[in-house]
Amino acid sequence: MSFIGWLDHSEAEQRQIRDLLQMFTDKGTVDDLGIGTVRDAISNRLFPGTSVTQTRARYFLFIPWIFLRAESKYPTQILDRSDAMERHLIGSLLKAEDQDGLIGRQVGKDIRMLPSGLYWSGLSSYGIFLQPSLTRSQYAVLARNPRPTEVEDELVGRSDSFWHRGIPAAPDGFFEFTGADFALTKEEASWLSERVLLTERLRGPNLIGGYVRDLQLAPPALAESFWKGPLPQDTPDDLKSMVHHAERFSAAVQSAAILYNLMLREKRNDIDRGDDKHADLLRERLDERAETAQSINLADWASDLTPFWALVTSQSRVPVLTKSFIDQWCVLLAEQHLKPLADNAAARSLIRNREIQHKKAQARFANPARLSDWSGESGLAPLEFRWPQAKRFLTDISNGLHGSSDLAEETISASN
C-alpha cells in the first residue's frame, strides 16, 4: 500500500498540497523525468520504514505517547486532544538547542501537517501501531470501543491495544510540555533498535537493520553516501549488489537531469536573449559527471541492465514507459560515455520527449508559461535513496545506546 493509503482523505489532500509546494522549494529532488518509482523501489529495499518526511527517531515515541494519553483520558476526543498535544510538543521542542529535523520549526504550532500524519505509515512499518489498515480517523472511532482489539502475528504477538505493549513510558513531566528534546534514552534507543530488527524478519535483510546491528556494538562510521563507506558486517550479496546498482543508477539519472537543465537553460536564453554563463556551467558539470562515470565504469553497467532490473522488480513494479526511458538512456551512456551527450541529437530528443510524455501539459518543453516560471534549476541533486533520513535515525539511536550527545560520525571521502 502506498504512503497516501495510510492517511484519511483530508490528510491526503494536505499531503498533495505539501508535495506540490515542495516541488518548487526543493529544486534538487524534482522528478521531471519520471524516475521516482525506481528510486523509491531501491529506497524501500535498502531502508524500509523510512520516508523523506521522517526526520528524527524520537517521533516514533512522541506520537504513541500522545495518542495513548488521548486514548486513555479523552477516548471520545482522541483526534482533537492529540492534535492539541502535538502542537504543544512543537512549542516545547522549539525551546531545545537541537532543532535539526523539527517538524514545525519554521511556522511553529500553526503547521498544517502534524508529525503523526507524516509518521503514521512508519509507526505501522515498525510494528508500533498495530493496525496498519486504519487511518488516524478510523483508529479514533474504533478506540472509543472499550472492548480490547487483539492482534496476533509474527511481528507483534498478542496485544490488548492498538499500540505495541512494550513502548517505553513517557518521561516524567512530558505532558506538561515545558521542555522536550530529541535525545533518546538508552531504554528508548534499545527498544527502537528491536523494532527495526523484528520488522526485518518480515521484510528480509536490509541495510537499516544491518546498521542497527552494528551500532548496538559501537558507534558506526556513516559515510556521506552509503556506497562510499563500509556496509554493515552481515550485508548479504544481493544487498551489496543493490548498493552497487544504486550508485550507478544515481550517476546515470543525474547526467540526464543535467542535460535536461542545459536544454531548458538554452531554450530560456533563446526566448529571453540571456547570456550563456549558466549553460556553460551545466556543460562543465556534465563533463565532471563523465569523469565520475569513468571511475565507476558506468558505461559497462549501462550496457546490460538485466541484473539491475531483476533486483528492482523483484519486489516493486516499474511502469513500462519509465523502464523504456531508462533503457534508452543507458544505451546512449554505454555508447557515448557521457562527454559528447551535451550536443547529442538522440540524447536531446529522448530527454525532450520523456518530459512531455511524463509531464504532459505541464511539460516545460511544451508549455511556455511553465518554462517562464522555471526557477533555473530542476532535479540536479544526486539521488540519495533516503540515506540522509536513515543516517539521522541511526545517529539518534547510536547516541542513545552509547550515551553520547555527539555520535562519533565521520564522513568518509571517496578516496577512502
Tell me the per-residue pLDDT of 342-377, one tens digit each, with 9 for 90 and over. Answer: 999 999 999 999 999 999 999 999 999 999 999 888
Which of helix, strand or coil describes residue 217? coil
Q: What is the pLDDT of residues 280-318, one digit of tens each?
A: 999 999 988 888 899 999 999 999 999 999 999 999 999
Q: Which residue shows C-alpha cell 544504486?
A: 246
**Quick one: pLDDT at residue 339?**
60
Check whether 159 has a pLDDT greater than 60: no
Q: Which residue shows C-alpha cell 509474527?
A: 154
Alpha-carbon distance of 300 to 335, in angstroms, equals 10
- Regarding predicted confidence, which is higher, 16 or 231? 231
Check whether 273 has a pLDDT greater than 90: no
Q: Which residue shows C-alpha cell 512530558?
A: 174
**Quick one: pLDDT at residue 340?**
75
Cβ-based neighbours of 367, under 8 Å, separated by 6 or more: 361
The band of 192, judged by pLDDT with boundaries at 50, 70 and 90, is: very high
State the average pLDDT over residues 218-224: 89
> pTM for this structure?
0.85
Alpha-carbon distance of 41 to 385, in angstroms, equals 9
Q: What is the pLDDT of residues 308-327, one digit of tens each?
A: 999 999 999 999 999 999 99
**Quick one: pLDDT at residue 403?**
81
Q: What is the pLDDT of residues 379-390, one digit of tens each?
A: 898 999 999 999
Check whether 406 has a pLDDT greater than 70: no
Q: What is the pLDDT of residues 45-85, one digit of tens each?
A: 999 989 999 989 999 999 999 999 999 999 999 999 999 99
State the average pLDDT over residues 151-167: 63
Instruction: Average the pLDDT over each of 12-21, 324-333, 351-360 and give the range with the smallest value.
Output: 12-21
Positive or negative, the Cα torsion across 96, 99, 102, 107? positive
**Quick one: pLDDT at residue 338?**
56
- Regarding predicted confidence, which is higher, 100 or 11? 100
* Neighbour count for residue 295 (Cβ, 10 Å): 10
Check whether 14 has a pLDDT greater than 70: no
**Quick one: pLDDT at residue 375?**
87
**Quick one: pLDDT at residue 10?**
47
Mean pLDDT score across all residues of the chain: 86
Beta bridge partners of 129: 163
Cβ-based neighbours of 172, under 8 Å, separated by 6 or more: none
Q: What is the pLDDT of residues 22-42, one digit of tens each?
A: 433 344 456 899 999 999 999
**Quick one: pLDDT at residue 404?**
63
Residue (of 190, 230, 229, 228) closest to 212 by Cα position: 190
Alpha-carbon distance of 89 to 148, in angstroms, equals 29
**Quick one: pLDDT at residue 415?**
34
Q: What is the pLDDT of residues 97-149, one digit of tens each?
A: 999 999 999 988 889 899 999 999 999 999 999 999 999 999 999 998 654 44
